[in-house]
Amino acid sequence: MEKSAKIVIAGAAKKGFTSIDVYETASNLGFVGAGIQLAPNMARVLDRLGVWEDIAREAVECRETSIRQPQTLTADVLLAADGIKSNVRSALLKEINADATIVDTQQAAYRIMLKRSEMEHDPELLALIDNEIVTRWIGEKRHIIAYPVSSKTIYNISTAQPDKNFAAAPSATYTTKGSKKAMMDTFSDFCPKIQRMLDLVPEGEVCEWKLRVHAPLPTWIHGSVALVGDSCHPPLPHLAQGAAQAIEDAAVLAEVLDLCPSSNAEDINKSLRVYEKVRKERAETLVELAAENGRDLHLGQGKAKEERDRKFAALKYEKKEGGAVPDKAK
C-alpha cells in the first residue's frame, strides 16, 4: 500500500506509513483504575517494533493529537481499537445485519492500585511490593491477583468474584463505584494481608468492573474497516491476554497493510481479510482458554478443586512435574 494512504485508528494505541491519525475519546491517557500484566507474546511483538525497552523503563510519552468535537473523517482504512463497548463494531455489524451477542460471565472485578507510601509502614505489605512476584490468593469462587507495577511504586490488585452489583444493571454499564463494606465482606475469609490491603482503599474510591465477553463475531472486517483488540475479542482477564492479543492484532495489521499492493478499496479489503484469517481463530481460542482458567480458579468444594489444589501445591512446594501455572495457556 502507498505509504501516503490515510489510516485512521479509533482508540489510542506504526510502520513506515506517513498518515496515521489516532482518535481517542479520553482527554488524557492516565491510569484507568489498573495496571496489567504484559505477557511474553506481547513483549516479543513490542520488542520487534522496537518499543519494549522504553516501555520497560516506564518512559511513556504520548504525542498524539486529541480531537474532541464530533466530526466526519475520510480515510483509506479505519482500524477500530475502540474497546469492548466499540461503537464501530455496532455500526459494522448493523451493516451486515448481525449482532454481537453479549455473554454475561456473572463475574465482576475490583481493581485497586495502592501507592508504595500507603504500604511501607507494614513490613509484610512492603515485602509484597518489593518482590518481583505475581501473587494469587484463591478462595471458593473468588480470587485475587496482585503484583508491583510502575517501578514498584504501585501495587496493582485485581479481584474476581461473583457479580452481585451489576446483575440488575443495564448491559451498557461496565464500571461502578462499589461499597467498601461489600468489598471487604466479599473477601472476609481471605488472609490478614488481604484484609489490610483492602482496608487501605479509601471509602468512595472502590471501583468495580463488570466482566463481560461476547460470542465470536461473524466477522471482524467490512470493506476497509477492521476491528482490533477488545472491540472484537474481549477476554476474561484470567489469562492476562487481552492487551497482548490487541498488540498481536496491531502487529499483523502493520504487516498486511505494509504488503498491500495499493490503496484501492479492493486491495485493502483483501489485506484485512488476511488479517482476520491470521488472527481470528487464535484470539478466539485464547478467549475460550481465559474462560477455562476462570472456571479452574473459581471451583467450589469437591474433587475437581482438590485435584487443582494438588497441582498448584506441586508447583509451589515440590517444583516438579505435575504442577500447573494458572496463567499459562494450555
Ligand X SMILES: Cc1cc2nc3c(=O)[nH]c(=O)nc-3n(C[C@H](O)[C@H](O)[C@H](O)COP(=O)(O)OP(=O)(O)OC[C@H]3O[C@@H](n4cnc5c(N)ncnc54)[C@H](O)[C@@H]3O)c2cc1C
The residues that touch ligand X, with contacts defined as CB under 6 A, are 10-13, 23-26, 36-37, 39, 81-83, 87, 109, 111, 158, 209, 229-231, 237, 240-244, 246
Cβ 160 to ligand X, closest distance in Å? 7
In terms of CB distance, is 76 or 210 closer to ligand X? 210
In terms of CB distance, is 76 or 230 closer to ligand X? 230
Cβ 108 to ligand X, closest distance in Å? 9
Nearest to 63 by CA among 96, 100, 29: 29
| DSSP assignment string, 88-142 | HHHHHHHHTT----EEEEEEEEEEEEEEHHHHTTSHHHHHHHHS---EEEEETTE
In terms of CB distance, is 314 or 329 closer to ligand X? 329
Cβ 190 to ligand X, closest distance in Å? 17
In terms of CB distance, is 126 or 134 closer to ligand X? 134
In terms of CB distance, is 117 or 151 closer to ligand X? 151
Cβ 2 to ligand X, closest distance in Å? 25
Give the H/E segment covering residue 236. Answer: none
Nearest to 263 by CA among 76, 80, 78, 79: 76
CB atoms within 10 A of CB 43: 15
Cβ 102 to ligand X, closest distance in Å? 15
Bridge partners (DSSP) of residue 7 are 20, 77
Q: How far is Cα 35 from Cα 155, in angstroms, rounded to an integer? A: 9
Q: How far is Cα 163 from Cα 143, in angstroms, rounded to an integer? A: 13
